């Protein structure tokens, strides 16, 4: 009876009471062995490759480095080679104008003292010119008239200078043409230089010059009466300096002032007052008028059509007397 109740080894009860140890299956063991063998083979192969790689790589790098160096050195003479050559060239070219600018500035500064208070403007630039401008050729007729003692509408007074002209009313422009030197050229190519001292009233046409008999005779026979001409403004070499004259009747309470002997046409005349420089009104008889006496007897500032300014120290009011200065406008 006791034996009949003993549990069987394969029964569930026995299995619970004696658990069996975990064992790998033969298939799994074989898989692990194969994997280990593969890993070892790979390790051996890798070690062989690593052992061989330094020699092989050094040869590969050495062979590759040579063409890279060659490929850079070959284009550099052909392509990059010329490129660096032009690049330095612009630098000297840019540097070249700089000295020239310095030279021109030096030239201007050297010529400035011969002027006076303002730097000399660029030659040919005449910002204050009226109808008569430098560098322009004018066309018209040339006639002649009896100049008598040489005096005229500009009121420069009698003169022995026979190379003078009267400017037509339009180009006379309220005495702006007074004192201008012009070169007159006839159709035959003959040319003369005359100074404007008078006005040719209407019906003198724009462009027309009424010359002294002596000046006309140098261009054509007086019997011609009138001839076509061209003329242009000059800035000639002159030896005289500018003079200043107060008109008859001038006083500290009213005065009229004019400049005589200027190389270039005069654009404006100013006088120094308590409130600063005051520009005087220009008259048709070529005097600058101060009706209330402001600046009469004080310093005078003259400006030509090129913008150059000369300052004359205060002068005693001496009516109808030419008072010389040591100043003259620069030539252009």
> What is the phi-psi region of residue 276: left when phi exceeds 0, alpha when psi lies from -120 to 50, beta otherwise?
left
- Beta strand pairing status for 191-200 and 164-168? parallel
In the structure encoding, which two tokens stand for residue 183, read together? 């070169």
Residues in the chain: 332
Q: What pLDDT is stored for residue 38 in this prediction?
A: 67
d(CA 122, CA 105): 11
Q: What pLDDT is stored for residue 75 in this prediction?
A: 37
In the structure encoding, which two tokens stand for residue 96, read together? 């070249």
Q: What pLDDT is stored for residue 36 in this prediction?
A: 62
d(CA 274, CA 282): 21
Helix boundaries (H) for 18-145: 26-73, 75-78, 90-95, 97-111
Percent of the chain surpassing pLDDT 90 = 62
Q: What pLDDT is stored for residue 42 in this prediction?
A: 62
d(CA 159, CA 196): 12
Task: Kindly give the parts of the chain with pLDDT less than 70.
Answer: 1-124
Closest CA to 288 of 242, 257, 243: 257
Within a 10 A sphere around the Cβ of 230, how many other Cβ atoms? Answer: 16
Closest CA to 111 of 324, 329, 261, 304: 329
| CA–centroid distance for 44 within its chain | 82
């Amino acid at each position: 009876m006791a034996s009949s109740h003993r549990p069987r080894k394969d029964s569930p009860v026995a299995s619970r009471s004696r658990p069996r140890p975990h064992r790998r299956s033969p298939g799994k063991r074989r898989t692990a062995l194969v994997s280990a063998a593969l890993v070892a083979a790979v390790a051996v192969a890798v070690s062989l490759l690593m052992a061989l790689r330094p020699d092989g790589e050094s040869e590969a790098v050495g062979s590759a480095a040579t063409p890279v160096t060659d490929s850079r050195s070959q284009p550099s003479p052909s392509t990059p080679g010329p490129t660096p050559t032009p690049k330095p060239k612009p630098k000297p070219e840019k540097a070249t104008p700089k000295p020239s600018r310095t030279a021109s500035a030096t030239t201007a500064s050297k010529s400035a003292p011969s002027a006076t208070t303002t730097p000399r403007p660029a030659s040919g630039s005449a910002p204050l010119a009226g109808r008569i401008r430098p560098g322009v050729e004018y066309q018209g007729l040339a006639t002649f008239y009896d100049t008598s003692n040489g005096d005229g509408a500009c009121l420069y007074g009698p003169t022995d200078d026979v190379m003078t002209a009267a400017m037509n009313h339009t180009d006379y422009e309220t005495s702006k043409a007074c004192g201008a030197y012009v070169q007159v050229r006839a159709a035959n190519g003959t040319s003369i230089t005359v100074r404007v001292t008078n006005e040719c009233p209407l019906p003198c046409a724009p462009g027309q010059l009424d010359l002294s008999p002596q000046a006309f005779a140098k261009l054509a026979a007086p019997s011609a009466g009138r001839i076509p001409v061209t003329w242009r403004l000059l800035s000639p070499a002159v030896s005289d300096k500018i003079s200043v004259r107060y008109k008859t009747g001038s006083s500290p309470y009213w005065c009229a002032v004019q400049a005589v002997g200027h190389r270039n046409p005069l654009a404006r005349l100013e006088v120094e007052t308590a409130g600063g420089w005051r520009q005087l009104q220009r008259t048709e008889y070529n005097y600058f008028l101060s009706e209330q006496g402001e600046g009469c007897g004080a310093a005078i500032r003259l400006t030509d059509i090129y913008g150059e300014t000369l300052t004359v120290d205060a002068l005693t009011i001496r009516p109808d007397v030419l008072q010389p200065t040591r100043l003259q406008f620069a030539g252009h």
